[in-house]
Structures are given as C-alpha cells and as structure tokens.
Amino acid sequence: MVQNMNVKKSSTLNLRIDPNLKSALKIAAEKDHRSLANMLEVLIIKHCEDKGIPFANTMQQTREK
C-alpha cells in the first residue's frame, strides 16, 4: 500500500456523468446514509482494492487510529 502521511486536505474532482447514473448514485448514497461524494469515494476504493491498484486509503487509516 502506498502511504503519504503529508496529505491533509481532500482534492476536488469535477466530472460530468449521465443524469441517470447520477440518480443511481444518489439512490445508492441514500441507502448507505452517505453523501454523493463519500459514496463515489467508497466505490472508487472498492474498485482499486478489487483490481489490486495501490493507493493510500486515508479513510481506512483514520478508522484504525
């Protein structure tokens, strides 16, 4: 796992997606009691873990402290 202990702020990501996909994301987020941004982050983390893509999972590190 790649670790960068200097990361203190989150990064901004602007993107355009199909309105139907956004609606589905909103429903998924509501069912998990998450914001759209947090739901998208969770999905990206799961995808990276499933594909073996290394990254510093600051969400996991925060929970372990």
Q: What is the pLDDT of residues 9-25, one digit of tens each?
A: 788 989 999 999 999 99
Q: Is residue 7 part of a domain?
A: no
CB 34 within 8 A of CB 20: no
Neighbours of 25 (CB within 10 A): 16
Q: Is residue 10 part of a domain?
A: no
Class of residue 58 by CB neighbours under 10 A (exposed 0-12, middle 13-18, buried 19+): middle
Q: Is residue 29 part of a domain?
A: yes
Q: Is the pLDDT of residue 7 over 80?
A: no
Looking at this protein, which amino acid is placed at residue 9? K
For tokens 């790649």, the residue is 2
Q: What is the pLDDT of residue 14?
A: 93
> Can you give the pTM of this predicted structure?
0.70
- Containing domain of residue 44, as a range? 19-64
Q: Is residue 2 part of a domain?
A: no
Number of domain units in the chain: 1
CB 56 within 8 A of CB 11: no
| Model confidence pLDDT, tens digit, residues 17-61 | 999 999 999 999 999 999 999 999 999 999 999 999 998 876 655
Q: Is residue 52 part of a domain?
A: yes
